[in-house]
Amino acid sequence: MPSNTASSSSAPAGSSKSKRPKYSKFTQQELPACKPILTPGWVILTFLVISVIFIPLGVVSLFASQDVVEIVDRYDNDCVPTPARANKVAYIQGGSDKSCNRTLVVPKKMKQPIYVYYQLENFYQNHRRYVKSRSDSQLRSVKDENQIDACKPEDDVNGKPIVPCGLIAWSLFNDTYALSKNNQPLTVNKRGIAWKSDREHKFGKNVFPKNFQEGNITGGGRLDANKSLSEQEDLIVWMRTAALPTFRKLYGKIESDLEKGDTIHVTLLNNYNTYSFDGKKKLVLSTTSWLGGKNDFLGIAYLTVGGICFFLALVFTIMYLVKPRRLGDPTYLSWNRVPGGGR
Amino acid sequence: MVRSSSLNGDSSASHRRTPSRTVTLGHIQPQAPSCRTVYCNDRDSNMPVRFKGNSISTTKYNVFTFLPKGLFEQFRRIANIYFLGISCLSLTPISPVSPITNVAPLSMVLLVSLIKEAFEDWSQDPPVSQLLNPSMDNLVQKRFQNDMSINNSTVEILQGQQWVPIPWRKLQVGDIVKIKQDAFFPADILFLSSTNPDGICYVETANLDGETNLKIRKALERTWDYLVPEKASEFKGEIQCEQPNNSLYTFTGNLVVQKQTLPLSPDQLLLRGCSLRNTEYIVGAVVFTGHETKVMMNAMNAPSKRSTLEKKLDKLIITIFCVLLTMCLIGAIGCSIVTDREDLYLGLQKSDWEYHNRLAIGFFTFFTLITLFSSIIPISLYVSIEMIKFIQSTQFINRDLNMYHAETNTPALARTSNLNEELGQVEYIFSDKTGTLTRNLMEFFKCSIGGISYGCGVTEIERGIAQRNGLKVHEEERSTGAIREKGFNFDDPRLMRGAWRNEPDPDLCKELFRCLAICHTVLPEGDESPEKIVYQAASPDEAALVTAAKNFGFFFYRRTPTTVYVRESHVEKMGKIQDVAYEILNVLEFNSTRKRQSVVCRYPDGRLVLYCKGADNVIFERLADGMDDVRKVTREHLEHFGSSGLRTLCLAYRDLDPETYNSWNEKFIQAKSALRDREKKLDEVFACNLINNDMKQFIISSETDAIREAEERGDQVEIARVIKEEVKKELRKSLEEAQLYMHTVAGPKLALVIDGKCLMYALDPSLRVTLLSLSLNCTSVVCCRVSPLQKAQVTSLVRKGAKKITLSIGDGANDVSMIQAAHVGIGISGMEGMQAVMASDFAIAQFRFLTDLLLVHGRWSYLRICKVVMYFFYKNLTFTLTQFWFTFRTGFSGQRFYDDWFQSLYNVFFTALPVIVLGLFEKDVSASLSKRYPELYREGIRNSFFKWRVVAVWATSAVYQSLVCYLFVTTSSFGAINSSGKIFGLWDVSTLVFTCLVIAVNVRILLMSNSITRWHYITVGGSILAWLVFAFVYCGITTSRDRNENVYFVIYVLMSTFYFYFTLLLIPAVSLLGDFIYQWVERWFYPYDYQIVQEIHRHESDASKADHLEIENELTPQEARSYAISQLPRELSKHTGFAFDSPGYESFFASQLGVYAPQKAWDVARRASMRSRPKVPKK
């Protein structure tokens, strides 16, 4: 305890000095504050405001989603010839012809650009072992091509570094699609399918593939050793690893409209091995809206939340009218509820 | 204590010391087998021994020790150790996260903690430095600077043949020093000579033990001459004494002067920290310096108590840890099942261990996941709570103007910041009545001399009784010029201004006044004039009595060890003044066993008189036979005074003839003569809170026939047995009755009154349970005349037996044990010295400030800490659960969802500040409403805000919110997310989830706040903004270092899409909607009390509320007090209100329970040392 240790007489100097704390709103805990109380009025108002905002947003995004036309075609099973279906893995690893023909019918008019995706399922591109198996510095600049520590087990071949190294690049998706409408080939534009930032900053313009897919096992697609990585957009797209084991990746875009009822022939090369882990492969053609692809979820969520809020506002209003609780009713105080107030 | 006449046998000296219960504190000093030999005035001879210097440092750390020592302190916390372990784990390849994830928050927390430590060390004022230099009354002296200025203050030492001033720090053992009046002793000094005759000096020890009365120290007669430098330089003594130790009241040693060995005792030792009084100067030899002085060896802070809430918090942490382990176990099992050796793209080779052993996969995955989910343990929780509590105690409690007492210039003081929230949960209050409730304002109010009652004042209680009976009290007009000063509130024309000489028995009056003036241990200070003199008394009643004597014309103005000087007026005839010197032959000081104090003095004319004052029963027993009528009338007066709420004391004298006196020197004899009593006013302010009108009282006392019979037989064992039986019977009976009342709904409130003697038996292990359950059935329990030890026993009985939170409040030395036994100890920084304050956790100037401390600060602190803890729990759980859900979709591989830096900064940066603001500014209802609705305090007692139910609600909220954040984003971001058909990758999705999470979690603070200041907005907005700014910068840079630039450009990619903004609105809104609905339903159907109070006063602003309350409490303190007293029950039993209490049962209990009974209960640090020491074994 500070200076009132000494009696008044023994410390005359001490007593003259006031120890009165200085007033401040902070120390007296009197800072101006807003004290919101959830009164029925406020609660109902909040719910109404939310529903008023959310329902239109839901409608808008649902409309956007409804505009999108999407064709999905699963081909992993059908593209294996019937005799080989008993052992698909052997088929896909064998040397036989992998080409396969699919026919798609356009259900609705699709305006250009129409995006071509491949969709893989049960493919854990987000597996820890997989995600970390890459070297960003190697991808960006030539001088870092020896930074391959993270890339195991696909880091080098006979001591020479692989560019691009790692499991991700190694397992590059290599099915190809050739589309045609009424025997007229549809051009699939494969430029500009990757995010610009990836293309320009993460993959070097002067980095070229080296020693790629020259190991014992071939994991997937090969790369043109004469094209720099920043031009290999398939690789760039592939290497932006997906968040979930079911994912889509952009393959290319068709820059012409498709009419309703158009038949589209797809000639695809079924090279990619998803059979060893029961992965599914799908081909997707889709248009987009300003909000992106087919995405009913967002609209439904907005509508549901808005609807629930409206409903709750209604329920609470009715409840308030039917069985009101007076605000600040002292009978609700615990010491008034229990007779005698307890001990 | 033990005084050894010779220290030749070293081992025997130390051996002898052990059995005696010295006052030892803190760590036990290694007892060097040797004694210390000091050659006085001979620096060269002392050289080889290398005594420590006199410079001191009270800082906890210095520049070099700060880092290692500070870090060591930090790693004593389990959470920090845990994170250290996790950080080490994350250095290994099994970690999915880079070490930065765990190292960054850990180092941040350590950094903040260390900065706080350093700040406290630099600026706080520990008790020690005040002990050492109280002359600097700056409240917050910088510790370091304080040390510096102490070390540099000057003292005069003998060099050659003259006094030379040197700084304190250069002082060495063996130096001869001269200390002037009012100066502090720079070291422990052996007292050689003084300017006072008889080689005595007066010291003030207030800084050591808080006792404000002056103590006398006496030099050995052999050394009295060494006063002037010429003589002192000849002094060549050799001091052989004990090694430095922390026992303040012992000192053994010998002084060898000229081949002559003189024994030394504590009487010759002047301790550092004390100051010299009433003595021109003294000369002494330095014995102990610097950190070896007794006060420095005693230096320690109050022992820290942990709050109950914090202990519950530990349980919560353990639960969280279990949740963590469960999560990891689920993941590990999942991983060992799911990991598919055919997953070609994982590149698993037959040679890899992962290919074969599922058990090993599970095992390693388990540790992988522990590092991944480590964020579930709120690492910054403890440091945040500490900061909040620190600010609460230093800024809010210490600076509350409502708790500042202007008269004594004392603000409240939180001596520890650990217990703030404990104040909000107190269920049982143990209060000392004497001095605490009564504030110890002693006034001489009434007296009865030789059977005639004097004094025309009317006490509060009398007024209250009269008021209740509907009588109008006529305030008697005070005679003009009635003297009223501190300690004196007496007026009666029959006695004042010498009028007593016309009373029936003026000689008796004269003797009474002389007794008042002589029989005491007061020391006068200052000018020897009636107006300016200041009395130094150990207790306020002593001062009041001497003041009374002064006003009756017996002015005590000077004291020497053997003489008391009294200036007597009106003795022989009006207007005559004469100075009389009474030689004091014996003083028998007051103690609680004897309950009386006696002085034998010799008048200048040789008359020998014994003056005695003490408790009525003690004095009555010793009165001479005869004068039965006076005795009877006096007892009636006593009872009347007692029932008026006055404290009483009886005075008696006896003339002694020299023969009797000489024989008396051997033994104590009974006194005879007439008897008088005098009163002190009892300021009964708060007693009304203790006993209400409609209470049924159980009074358990030992006065039964059986006991009397036993007493007559004089069989001690029999008495004890009978009393015990009796108490047992009474207790059982009362308990049955009490329980009967408990079952009836509108039964009266119960009170138990038990006296110390019965308590002694009731506290017997076999009866304890009964006593406890009876006490718990009563609204109040009054224990009268109990010893300090019993106070502590009752407190710990309730604390341990009822498992409820207890608070003790007291002001005096006898309350120390009680204060320390309770969960929260409050000291009144008032009249009775510092002992209670030094032992307490909080110190307040007035009992009434307890209202503010508990109802306002305690309640708020509890509420705030609960909310902070819950919020921490919630935010970490929410964050970690998103990670956990993600794990399910990665094949349990332990892939991290968030970037390392996001995860590491989440706790310490993006969500850290709003919660601190919440912990500082949260208020459910305003301070005035808190006091107006004291029932709100029950929410703390019931622990409404920190129940497992509350935890479950928060956990549900966390699960819900994490699911919303995770599922909504992952579901909706599956397809193309902009018009150019691009797809999000893993890091885009996780960054989006993280953004939603940061917003939701921060806005949640606003939703849970009852009082939103601008700081809330600033910190919540600031945190979200900080995240965005961080994201912009972090996503925009590339480094040449080899790292995975996963999140490069991610935020820009996100912000280029409409989708981003749509989810950003949707997800936080949906997350918080659930909590919002819950809060609303809870408030509407199951409202908390505070919520109803909020609603009742929803239209009032704070200021108007305060005014409103002001008007309502328009009663002046006087009126309020009268009203309160009028509410008291009528006086039923007769009591005489003896002023002192504390019967000495300690030793009885000590032997019974094997508890060491404190000889001086006030010793601050002893308790601490007792605590660390194992219990004294039973004998």
Query: Which of B275, B983, B1059 has the CB atom closest to A291's CB atom?
Result: B1059
The average pLDDT across B79-92 equals 83
Report the chain B residue with the minimal C-alpha distance to residue A113.
B980
Work out the percent of chain A whose per-residue pLDDT is above 90.
Answer: 38
The minimum CA-CA distance between A332 and chain B, rounded to whole Å, is 7
The minimum CA-CA distance between B345 and chain A, rounded to whole Å, is 6
The average pLDDT across B781-807 equals 82
Lowest-confidence pick of A241-245, B106-110, B775-779, B1153-1157: B1153-1157
Tell me what pLDDT residue B19 has.
37
- Asked whether the predicted pLDDT for residue B86 surpasses 90, the reply is no
Helix B381-391 and helix B859-888, axial crossing angle in degrees, nearest 10:
160
Question: In which band, very low, low, confident or very high, does the pLDDT at B593 lie, cut at 50, 70 and 90?
Answer: low
The rounded distance, in Å, linking the Cα atoms of A183 and A264 is: 9
A232: left (phi over 0), alpha (psi -120 to 50) or beta: beta
Contact A35 B1094 (CB under 8 A): yes
Contact B921 A170 (CB under 8 A): no
Helix residue ranges per DSSP H, B596-703: 616-621, 628-643, 658-664, 687-690
Q: What is the mean pLDDT of chain B?
A: 74
Lowest-confidence pick of A4-8, A96-100, B857-861: A4-8
- Asked whether the predicted pLDDT for residue B360 surpasses 70, the reply is yes
A266: left (phi over 0), alpha (psi -120 to 50) or beta: beta
Residue B203 is encoded by which pair of tokens? 């010291």
* Strands ordered across the beta sheet of B824-828: B413-414, B842-844, B824-828, B806-810, B428-431
Q: Buried b vs exposed e over B809-822: b needs ≥16 C-beta within 10 Å?
A: bbbbbbbbbbbbbb
SS3 B337: helix
- Asked whether the predicted pLDDT for residue B839 surpasses 50, the reply is yes
Lowest-confidence pick of A194-203, B21-30, B138-147: B21-30
pLDDT digits 0-9 by tens, A15-65: 446 778 888 888 888 888 888 888 888 999 999 999 999 999 999 999 999
pLDDT digits 0-9 by tens, B795-814: 888 888 888 889 988 877 67
The rounded distance, in Å, linking the Cα atoms of B110 and B98 is: 19
- Asked whether the predicted pLDDT for residue B9 surpasses 60, the reply is no
Quick one: CA torsion of B13, B16, B18, B19, rounded to 10 degrees? -170
Lowest-confidence pick of A141-150, A185-194, A195-204: A141-150
Tell me what pLDDT residue B33 has.
46
Q: Hey, is the C-beta of B349 within 8 angstroms of any chain A C-beta?
A: yes
Lowest-confidence pick of B775-784, B819-828, B951-960: B775-784
Tell me what pLDDT residue B587 has.
73
Question: In which band, very low, low, confident or very high, does the pLDDT at B1172 lie, cut at 50, 70 and 90?
Answer: very low
pLDDT digits 0-9 by tens, B114-151: 887 777 666 554 444 444 443 333 333 455 666 777 78
The average pLDDT across A226-250 equals 92
- Asked whether the predicted pLDDT for residue B489 surpasses 50, the reply is yes
Contact B981 A250 (CB under 8 A): yes
The minimum CA-CA distance between B1079 and chain A, rounded to whole Å, is 9
The rounded distance, in Å, linking the Cα atoms of B399 and B394 is: 7
Helix B788-801 and helix B1146-1153, axial crossing angle in degrees, nearest 10:
50
The rounded distance, in Å, linking the Cα atoms of B751 and B728 is: 18
CB A254 within 8 A of CB A113: yes
- Of A98, A120, A215, A121, which is closest to residue A173 (Cα–Cα)? A120
Q: Environment class of residue B315 by beta-carbon count within 10 Å: exposed (0-12), middle (13-18) or buried (19+)?
A: exposed
Q: Hey, is the C-beta of A132 within 8 angstroms of any chain B C-beta?
A: yes
SS3 B707: helix
Range with the largest mean pLDDT of B680-684, B747-751, B833-837, B887-891: B887-891
Question: In which band, very low, low, confident or very high, does the pLDDT at A177 lie, cut at 50, 70 and 90?
Answer: very high
Question: In which band, very low, low, confident or very high, does the pLDDT at B1150 lie, cut at 50, 70 and 90?
Answer: very low
Is the pLDDT higher at B1018 or at B431?
A: B1018
**C-alpha R_g of chain B:** 36
Question: In which band, very low, low, confident or very high, does the pLDDT at B1133 lie, cut at 50, 70 and 90?
Answer: very low
Is the pLDDT higher at B991 or at B893?
A: B991
Beta bridge partners of A267: A101, A178
The average pLDDT across B1028-1055 equals 80
The average pLDDT across A109-120 equals 92
Tell me what pLDDT residue B197 has.
74
Q: Hey, is the C-beta of B699 within 8 angstroms of any chain A C-beta?
A: no
- Asked whether the predicted pLDDT for residue B778 surpasses 80, the reply is no
Question: In which band, very low, low, confident or very high, does the pLDDT at B1043 lie, cut at 50, 70 and 90?
Answer: low
The minimum CA-CA distance between B627 and chain A, rounded to whole Å, is 44
Helix B859-888 and helix B948-972, axial crossing angle in degrees, nearest 10:
40
Check if B432 is active-site.
yes
Tell me what pLDDT residue A1 has.
36
Range with the largest mean pLDDT of A66-70, B444-448, B518-522: A66-70
Contact A33 B973 (CB under 8 A): no
- Of B994, B1179, B968, B940, which is closest to residue B1073 (Cα–Cα)? B968
The rounded distance, in Å, linking the Cα atoms of B894 and B373 is: 9
Contact B139 A19 (CB under 8 A): yes
Q: Which of A240, A282, A290, A319 to substitute to test the interface with B, most B CBs within 10 Å?
A: A240
Q: For residue B691, what are the CA distances in angstroms to B512, B753, B757, B771?
A: 36, 10, 22, 19
Tell me what pLDDT residue B1002 has.
95
pLDDT digits 0-9 by tens, B1083-1117: 888 888 899 888 888 877 654 444 433 333 344 44
Q: Hey, is the C-beta of A27 within 8 angstroms of any chain B C-beta?
A: yes
Work out the percent of chain B whose per-residue pLDDT is above 90.
Answer: 15
The average pLDDT across A83-88 equals 86
- Asked whether the predicted pLDDT for residue B82 surpasses 60, the reply is yes
- Asked whether the predicted pLDDT for residue B251 surpasses 60, the reply is yes
Contacts of B342 in chain A (CB under 8 A): 276-277
CB atoms within 10 A of CB B530: 16
Residues B1043, B1045, B1047: CA angle, nearest 5 degrees: 145
> Cα A201 vs. chain centroid, distance in angstroms?
21
The rounded distance, in Å, linking the Cα atoms of B431 and B815 is: 9
Contact B985 A46 (CB under 8 A): no
Is the pLDDT higher at B572 or at A159?
A: A159
Is the pLDDT higher at B772 or at B692?
A: B772
Q: Between β-strands B647-656 and B675-680, what pairing exists: parallel, antiparallel or unpaired?
A: antiparallel
Please report, for chain B, how many H helices and E strands are present, in that order.
Answer: 43, 33
- Asked whether the predicted pLDDT for residue B816 surpasses 70, the reply is yes
Catalytic residue among B121, B175, B400, B432: B432
Q: What is the DSSP string of B1085-1138?
A: HS--HHHHHHHHTTT--HHHHHHHHHHHT---HHHHHHHHHHTSPPP-S----B
The average pLDDT across A164-185 equals 90
pLDDT digits 0-9 by tens, B692-732: 333 344 444 444 444 445 445 555 566 666 666 777 777 77
- Asked whether the predicted pLDDT for residue A210 surpasses 60, the reply is yes
Tell me what pLDDT residue B60 has.
65
Q: H/E element holding B729?
A: helix B716-743
pLDDT digits 0-9 by tens, B639-655: 777 766 677 777 777 77
Contact A22 B399 (CB under 8 A): yes
Tell me what pLDDT residue B129 has.
40
Work out the percent of chain B whose per-residue pLDDT is above 70.
Answer: 71
Tell me what pLDDT residue A155 has.
78
CB B1042 within 8 A of CB B909: no
The rounded distance, in Å, linking the Cα atoms of B874 and B986 is: 25
CB atoms within 10 A of CB B1101: 12
Beta bridge partners of A180: A185, A265
pLDDT digits 0-9 by tens, B161-183: 888 888 888 888 888 888 888 88
Lowest-confidence pick of A159-163, B169-173, B338-342, B933-937: B338-342
Tell me what pLDDT residue B342 has.
58
